[in-house]
Amino acid sequence: MQDDKAKTESELTTFFSGLDAGLNGLREVRAAYDEQIAFDFNTLRFFGIGERTVSQILAFFLNRDETHGQKTAFLQTFLEHFNLAGSTRALLSKDETIAVECEDPTEAKRLIDITVSFKNANFVIGIENKLYAQDQKNQVLHYCDELNRRTHGNYKLLYLTPEGHAPSKESITEDALRALSDKVLVISYRRHIVPLLSKYETVCRADDVRGFIRQFQQYIRQTYLGESSMGEITFYSEHVRKNPEILRHADALRNAVGSAKSEIFSAFWSKVAECLNRHEITLDLTRMAFCDSGYSEAPVKHHSDPFEASGELKKVSVFYEPNRIDAPVYITIGMSSERKNLSPQLRSKVEELEKRLKEMNLGAVRGNVGWWWCAAVPLPHIKFADGNELCEILKDKDGCKILSLATEAADQIAKYINATETLWREVNSKQ
């Protein structure tokens, strides 16, 4: 047993020593040649691409009439990649009418992110893209009912998340999901979309489009999957192949890292809650749970909350996206319904509140399909995609780093809620 432990320590020490040395050498080379090559340059970063635009890009590849010029090459690759149709040739024949739509409305006016409809075959593929948006009540079940109605059961619904998480129980019950296991396919960006994009790059014959595919894949991997630069990913892979003995410890290392992240995550939000109490704000963290991507949310209740009393603005939430360095944390003032369903009087009040929040530069004013929020404010956070920061936090036995970030985040939350309350009172008094 002692010999096994010593062997494990020796293998890990050798592996990580070589990894550190190699990465340092790689980074020195990148620094020397970055001026000529621009290793991490990506035009997509200039355009604030979010969930909706990502869906539009995915749909773009599936549309044989789009400007990529590749006709059905991407759609055929997609069908084969997910084994979605036994007779691909019939679906892609010249006589088949194919319609690709984004935000395809159901009879109940809910929006399916992407649909690919084959009219003659009476077959529809739906894609629900969940990069960070919250599941709506009965959402997946409703989409299945809608696609079933359109095709008399001849459909597939792909539920897409960064890591392949199943739909929430609010969206579809576990029993219902099991009953629809032949219709609902849970897929991920990491295991399915990234490899699919690599296949797209292979079948694509246009250089400009191939370059765009490469940049889109890089954007997905770095922005939503928290991966390092592409050169470093390749180096990690090569270093593992040269040291295959490390694979014996892969599961243990993965579990250890996940456990450490969960402990840090819990400690951070615990400190945030403690700091918020000084501002007379109670943050219910019972629903917060660490995940490698996506988000969690927790209702926030202020002891003097005017929104609850009015029965109109009903939710203040915290969203946390651990792997998104640029904007991993938001707090929001949420509505109980979609914006289009607001009464004219309430819409007028909300628009005034939006305007005032924007003037204060508190954050981006934005909306969401399922429910609606007034504004989003990025907060100080722990960067889970930053190994150096995690290393510092784990070495910090007194927890000063976590406390500092949590205090700053709590102060920002309190500032935002107090400012919004004040503005909301002013808006209500004026109208």
pLDDT at 35 over 70: no
pLDDT digit string, tens, across residues 109-148: 899 999 999 999 999 999 999 987 778 889 999 999 999 9
pLDDT at 166 over 50: yes
What pLDDT is recorded for position 334?
54
Co-location of 159 and 285 in the same domain: no
> Which carries the bigger pLDDT value, residue 420 or residue 76?
76
- State if pTM tops 0.85: no
Q: What is the DSSP string of 85-130?
A: -S-HHHHTSTT--EEEEEEEE-TTS-EEEEEEEETTTTEEEEEEE-
Range of the domain at 267: 254-430
pLDDT at 169 over 60: yes
Q: State the burial class of residue 172 (Cβ atoms within 10 Å of its Cβ: 0-12, 13-18, 19+).
A: buried
Query: Does some domain include residue 27?
Result: no
Query: Does some domain include residue 370?
Result: yes
> Which carries the bigger pLDDT value, residue 368 or residue 206?
206
pLDDT at 160 over 60: yes
Span 253-263, mean pLDDT? 80
pLDDT at 44 over 90: no
Check if the beta carbon of residue 269 is closer than 8 Å to that of residue 285. yes
Co-location of 288 and 186 in the same domain: no
Query: Does some domain include residue 175?
Result: yes
What pLDDT is recorded for position 329?
57
pLDDT at 394 over 70: yes
CA distances from 350 to 198, 334, 365, 370 (A): 44, 11, 11, 17
Overall domain count for the chain: 2
CA distances from 238 to 18, 201, 235, 254 (A): 12, 22, 5, 18
For residue 354, give the nearest of 369, 333, 368 by alpha carbon. Answer: 333
What pLDDT is recorded for position 216?
92
- Give the domain-ending residue among 165, 191, 217: 191
Query: Does some domain include residue 201?
Result: no
- Give the domain-ending residue among 191, 216, 244: 191
pLDDT digit string, tens, across residues 268-322: 888 888 888 888 887 776 666 665 545 556 666 666 555 554 444 455 666 666 5
Co-location of 156 and 275 in the same domain: no
Span 1-16, mean pLDDT? 64
In this prediction, residue 33 has a pLDDT band, given cuts at 50, 70 and 90, of very low
Co-location of 262 and 393 in the same domain: yes
Mean pLDDT of the chain: 77
What pLDDT is recorded for position 56?
95
For residue 367, give the nearest of 379, 348, 351, 387 by alpha carbon. Answer: 351
Query: Does some domain include residue 129?
Result: yes
Query: Does some domain include residue 13?
Result: no
Strand partners, 114: 102, 127
pLDDT at 236 over 70: no
- Give the domain-ending residue among 170, 191, 212: 191
Co-location of 268 and 390 in the same domain: yes
Query: Does some domain include residue 425?
Result: yes
What pLDDT is recorded for position 142?
95
CA 53 from chain center: how many Å?
13
Co-location of 187 and 272 in the same domain: no
Co-location of 164 and 67 in the same domain: yes
Query: Does some domain include residue 79?
Result: yes
What pLDDT is recorded for position 306?
56
> SS3 of 328, please?
coil
Strands (E), 170-271: 184-188
pLDDT digit string, tens, across residues 88-113: 677 888 889 999 999 999 998 899 99
Lowest-confidence range among 126-130, 195-199, 219-223, 324-328?
324-328
